[in-house]
Structure 1
Amino acid sequence: MPDSSPLLTIVLEEPGTLDRESATYRRLLAARLRYESQLAVILVEEALTTHVVTRLCSTIESKYVMFMRTSQQLASSYVTTVMDYLRPRNVYLAEPVLYAGAIPKNVAFTKLDDAYRYARDTDVYGVAFNTRRLAVALEAIGDVDRSALYLGYRLYWSIGTVKPLNTGFSVASDTKAAIGLHVDSEVARLIPLIPSASKEMRVYLIRYLALFLRGLRSRKFTQVSLAHLSEMVRRYRLVDLVRFVEPLQPFEAAWIRWLDDPSTDPHLFKQLSHRDSYVHFKEGESVSEDALLLYQLRLGAQVLTIEKSYEPRDLRPGYSRPNSYDFYSRPIGPSSTILFFDRPFQADDNAEHLYDYFIRTHPEFTEAYFALNPKAADWARLEEKGFKLIPIFTKDFYDKFLISDLVVSSQIYNIRYRGKSFANSRFVYLQHGIQLNDMTDWVLSKYFDVFVATGKLEADYMGGLAPVETLNSGLPRFEALAREKSEASHLLFMPTWRFNLHQTSAENFAKSEYFRAIDSVISDPSLLRFLQKTDRVLHVKLHPNVERRSSQFRFSDRVVQSHLGYREAIASAEMVFTDYSSAVLDAAFIETPIAYYHWDAADFFRDQPYEARVDYLEDGLGPVFHEHSELIDHIVQEDYLCPNEQFKKRRERFFQGVNPTSINSTIVDRMLSL
């Protein structure tokens, strides 16, 4: 290699508009100016694939190459640390400590254990590869997906362990952990099956496999064969590490066990009060008469059928084992410990409203607690209401969880303590929102004894996934809204969020269609004149992810950023409109007019992790507008005040089966019967 060649080339992937004010881009430019001929930065205006990486490796002359995205983050010391490490050495690989979220101030305090490794993203980003050795490896493993190149490279060169450098890199998102990954449709194997006894590599491999299986559930097809997946599980003894998968991906954990040994089918998924839930895996397209079909997935020329069934509790493996405690053995009664909670730092959701009802109507339950962080703004308010509060996620909380007979929450958290989890104990899931999107894969990954649905449409959908667990009662906060609805005092705008804006700079945010659409509405001259003339105020309830950008919006005397709680803001609204937020259904439930403004309907779901399940035009509970002018006309002409028989019928059908005066009592009756 000529002496004039750089030591390191950083390939910056940006298929869209380059955010030149992002922290990552500015740091790379600063590093480029500092190291001059030693560091090259090249922009690639296409998505990185294995083919693109192979092409780049054939042209890049630097000794090392690194891949980045502008949305990712790097510590201030990142480039310096990497350059100082690489300069005097000849190595295969150099990598930082890698995170999914914020980079801590002191990377050295990060515990580099198995838990870190299982949480670590194993894509190509943020790692310095030896360019020539990567090119050589690609000649053998160039058929794998880009997301597996890091793993394939380490397997090819037998790199069993790597000591990360004392600096940090963040992929800035944990979306992949929730929705899995989709490999290129032409890929026929996940990784090269090259032997490795390294536990570090095996932990990385089981995470990659679990993410692939999770993504396969939504994509429904792959060219990767069952034989390859089974061989991967057996060759690397991944079933011995399935404990890492089980807490967050229990469905995939059962799948990996089946891949290791198909004779182990069926697989216990969730213990229930009267019958347990099992999942079944089998090759072929035949469907059992007494089971619920969940998936039929195509893997090359093969079809994998996955089903669910409910079986008597006494058939459970180890049911009568003396050293296995049964958390269902004690019936729920006045002496039972029961835990309620919403979010750690925020109450005023379904758990709070149900708890309030429960302690008023069942005072004999003296060990019912509401968990919350003591620093939360709601703590003092709930203390005044007489709630029996307990600090959430503390030792006291976990000790109470261990002896509890029931947990009730609007959120699903991975709570495990001394052998107890929601897999083997009672849990009532109250929901926070409503399932307007296709959340099938997410729902089937969660443990619950009761899933509270809100009306026939949602109950029918959930009944196809969890017929025993689904309860069509409505949400507890709906009962509070129906009871507390007050005289209309304002209009309310509640826009939701866009995942592709997470790491954008202030300049790029101001250029986004999202910002321009919202800001154009709240500053529209016709709207402002209407508000002034009629003495109305428009409250804008920004999504929490937008709060730090609030100063960029053109608020005014008549259009204000709302700091009211969601329930208070909705209960006193004359009309509520949104883009896609399910929060407006709270307003529809109490017969407040709603509307949708879909300025980016063509692109919205392309960038979201879930697909729409409800057709807003056919089933929406209010009109759908795609143009700014249509929405403004609807408001200033006060069309929302005109009775609409179509939306009335849709609302009745949507919330069918929900009695607004008995939501809480219906849920309590069900939870006490578990």
Structure 2
Amino acid sequence: MADVAPILTIVLEESGRLDRESVMYRRLVSARLRSESEFELLHVDEALTTEKITQLCGSIESKYVVFVRTSHQISASYVSTMLDYLRTRTVYLAEPVIYTGPIANNVGGTKIDQSYHYARDTDVFGVVFNTRRLADALEAIGDIDRSGLYISYRLYWSIATVTPLPTGFSVTSDTKAAIGLQVAPDATRLVPLIPTTSNDLQLYLVRYIALFLRGMRAQKTTQVTLAHLSDLIHQFDLVDHVALVDPLQPFEGFWLRWLNNPAHDTHLFKQLSDGDANLIFRKGEASEDSALQLYRLRFGNDVLTIEKSYLPRELRPAYARPECYDFYERPLRPSSTILFFDRPLQADDNAEHLYEYFVTHHPDFTEVYFALNPKSDDWSRLEAKGFKLIPIFTTEFYEKFLISDLVVSSQIYNIRYKAKTLANSRFVYLQHGVQLNDMTDWVLSKYFDVFVATGQIEADYLGKLAPVETLNSGLPRMESLARAEHSREHLLFMPTWRFNLHQSSAEHFTQSKYFRAIDAVLSDPALIKFLEQTDRTLEVKLHPNVEKRAGQFRFSERVVKSDLSYRAAIASAEMVFTDYSSAVLDAAFIGTPIAYYHWDAVDFFRDQPYEGRLDFREDGLGPVFHEHSELINHIVQEHYLRPDDIYIHRRDRFFEGVDPERINAKIVDRMLSL
């Protein structure tokens, strides 16, 4: 008797080493023990594309198929719930409740509303397709990029609504919201133009197109045409949903409006004190006027140029005039409410240092507040220093935001309350790091009146994106560092993070190049011997994403995990080294030797949501090492103690224009002039 085909095939995509200790894999194997005859687990060691899925549909014998990755998460009941539902039915589609973060403890309590549908990831993962129906659809929509298959499948089979089953699936992160998505180079359309009145699909589509446009700013060229995009917006009445795009992707929101009505090519992006910053969309080459060209993109045979212009507010088109109160109408004065904040759970960054300077030098301003989560370890410290604290992101915070005349922060959050946003009110962005990488797309997506730069090199880069808003002053925490006593007590290692390790199991993490490179440094016998003989210690400041895995590293009496604040750790360091973190520039600013260890230079930017902008070998403020032995030799031979004119010159050039004694004063002068 022939074997009966399983009901379901679970296709597990993992192009690298299969992480058999991941939550996903262990739950799938556990489910197989209970229902081994009903589903098959198929490992595919390459990226799933539309072409690959088409091939799989031709070979899979099961009635249903679902695609997953080891980095994703499933509820313990995911497989059993799907099988229970599919055993007695013939359906085109079955899906769980989709999450982009942790799966809710009570999946059934998740509200399936407009917000859910708009935020829902619409890739193929986690959804159970009828294998035959998917194969049939692919014959018609096989030119669609994999990221658009789920929406296209529903359009093709006219599936207007789907009620999620009471189990959860998580794609674990929503980096697409920040960096967008890039479709296959040969894709000529995003989805088929098959009419639907489904509100769910309209919400999926408007987000999908916004993510595509966001990705296009990096991809620069596509076979998808502008005409196709306009047809999608008109066919599915998507302009009615564009307001949902604005909070996280305002740039793409205006882009969608232009695609809907190209006659309005100028769009108010950000109000400023002396006028407006506008985005201009032009089909064709750049204009010859004074507009600043941001992008030149190719859609099929068409060229789209996106420009930025600054115009007096009296020239603002009538259709772009805000209907709400003008938050710039009231000038900054001693009675003004001003809000400062760093991270919700962590201060000790640029906003804290500028706040302290401001209230000391401008005591006539009496309504100045610092926002922080009361659970933060910094709350009691700042309270003891006399900071006027309010709980961040609470009703009290938003009410203060509503009446404030200025917000000052080292972070950019999507703050919206009633009719007020950072798009129509004053905001000074102090930065957390320094723009060493190409963050053009990110910078152009954000609202700010002032963007603080650290030296002429960074100011020149930012000036090409925001010439009116850029201020070359330096960071407030650097002035504090320059004033602090430097005791030179230890060496300091500050490695940054790798985005592709977010969901790694403990075993998979310890097998990564990242872990092995760092741990090899911490446990190097020659380094430890040097530390012992010279009575030094190596402090290791782990990235916050690595803190939970600290126990896996081989720390010792001489190599310790640092619990110092960043400022204290850097101020007391004899030498600081990193892989790619811009935090070491704080050390360079005060004359402390720095170095870079690029063990994964070939792969680093491939897995990051940004690209490198500076050549570390040509522009770095310290030597760059690619080999472990080179770094260790540099330390144990104390080469870092020898002054090097090359790096002294680069340091002076990098921080050109920054007066260590007037960083805070320069920023305050600018912010009070807004």
> Which band: TM-score by shorter chain?
over 0.9
Q: Is the 8 A contact 1:206 1:242 kept in 2?
A: yes
Q: Cα offset for 1:165?
A: 1.2
Q: Which residue of 1 aligns with 2:644?
A: 644
Give the C-alpha shift of residue 174 in structure 1. 1.3
Give the equivalent residue in structure 1 for 2:516: 516
Q: Distance in 1 between matches of 2:34 and 2:316?
A: 64
**Structure 1 counterpart SS, 2:269:** strand
Post-superposition shift, 1:552? 1.0
* Counterpart for residue 142 of structure 1: 142
Q: Which amino acid aligns with 1:439?
A: M
Q: CA deviation at 1:320?
A: 11
| Equivalence for 2:480 | 480
Give 2:331's aligned residue: 331
Are 2:669 and 1:669 aligned? yes
Corresponding position of 2:159: 159
Structure 1 residues 178 and 320, CA, compared in 2 at 3 Å: closer, same or farther?
closer
Counterpart of 1:394, as a letter, is T
Alignment of 1:341-352 (within 5 A): 341-352=341-352
Alpha-carbon shift at residue 77 of structure 1 (Å) = 1.5
Measure, in 2, the Cα distance between the counterparts of 1:320 and 1:29. 56
1:362 counterpart residue number: 362
Q: Which amino acid is the alignment partner of residue 315 of structure 2?
A: L
Structure 2, unpaired ranges of 5+: none
The correspondence of residues 201-280 of structure 1 with structure 2, limited to 5 A, is: 201-280=201-280
Question: What secondary structure sits across from 1:41 in the alignment?
Answer: strand
Inter-partner Cα distance in structure 2 for 1:287 and 1:438? 25
Q: Which amino acid aligns with 2:334?
A: P
The 8 Å contact of residues 410 and 430 in structure 1, kept in 2 or not, is answered as: yes
For residue 182 of structure 1, what is the aligned residue in structure 2? 182
Task: Give, in angstroms, the shift of residue 170 of structure 1.
Answer: 0.7
Please provide the CA RMSD for this pair: 1.2
- Name the SS of the counterpart of 2:98 in structure 1: strand
SS in 2 for 1:652: helix
SS at match of 1:262: coil
Distance 1:423 1:414 in 2: 10
Residues 13 and 43, structure 1, Cα contact 8 Å, conserved in 2: yes
Amino acid at match of 1:110: T
Tell me the CA shift for residue 532 of structure 1: 0.3
* TM-score computed with the length of structure 1 as normaliser: 0.99
Aligned to 1:13: 13
The equivalent of 2:42 in structure 1 is 42
* 1:624 matched residue in structure 2: 624
**Cα shift at 1:152:** 0.3
Q: Secondary structure at the match of 1:251?
A: helix
The aligned runs of 1:308-319 (5 Å cut-off) are 308-317=308-317
Q: Deviations over 1:274-333 (max 9, x none)?
A: 110001111112333210000100111111111000000122345997963101000010
Aligned to 1:110: 110
SS at match of 2:347: coil
Secondary structure (helix, strand or coil) at the match of 2:263 reads helix
Q: Supply the AA of the counterpart residue of 1:531.
A: L
* Alpha-carbon distance between aligned partners in 2 of 1:381 and 1:276, rounded to the nearest angstrom: 40
Instruction: Give the Cα separation in 2 of the matches to 1:135 and 1:13.
Output: 19
- Do the aligned residues in 2 keep the contact of 1:313 with 1:319 (CA within 8 Å)? no
2:654 matches 1:635: no
Aligned to 1:610: 610
In the alignment, is the contact (CA less than 8 A) between 2:270 and 2:276 conserved in 1?
Answer: yes
Letter of the 1:243 partner, please give it.
Answer: A
SS at match of 1:294: strand
- Aligned residue pair count: 673
Structure 1 Cα separation of the partners of residues 163 and 353 of structure 2: 50
Residue type of the partner of 2:589?
A: F
Matches within 5 A, 1:263-662: 263-317=263-317, 324-662=324-662
SS of the aligned residue for 2:370 comes to: strand
TM-fit CA distance, 1:106: 1.2
Q: What letter corresponds to residue 93 of structure 1 in structure 2?
A: L
Counterpart Cα distance in 2 of 1:419 and 1:328: 14
Deviation of 1:637 (Å):
0.5
1: CA distance between counterparts of 2:112 and 2:414?
A: 21
- 1:235 deviation in Å? 0.7
Distance 1:232 1:319 in 2: 24
SS, match of residue 548 in structure 1: helix
Distance 1:481 1:66, change over 3 A: same
- How far apart are 1:590 and its partner, in Å? 0.5
The alpha-carbon deviation at position 230 of structure 1 amounts to: 0.8
Q: Provide the identity percentage.
A: 70
Distance in 2 (CA, whole Å) between partners of 1:3 and 1:318 is: 71
Tell me if structure 2 keeps the 8 A contact 1:143–1:187: yes
Q: Distance in 2 between matches of 1:601 and 1:415?
A: 36
Give 1:203 shift: 0.5
Cα distance in 2, alignment partners of residues 109 and 545 from structure 1: 29
Q: Is the 8 A contact 1:485 1:590 kept in 2?
A: no
Quick one: structure 1 residues 485 and 402, their matched pair in 2 at CA, closer, same or farther if it must change by over 3 Å?
A: same
CA distance in 1, matches of 2:89, 2:41: 21
Between the aligned partners of 2:670 and 2:627, the Cα distance in structure 1 is: 45
Larger displacement relative to structure 2 (408-417 or 167-176): 167-176
State how far apart, in whole Å, the 1-side matches of 2:664 and 2:116 are: 41
Deviations 1:235-282 (A, max 9, x none): 111111100101111110111011011001101100111110001111
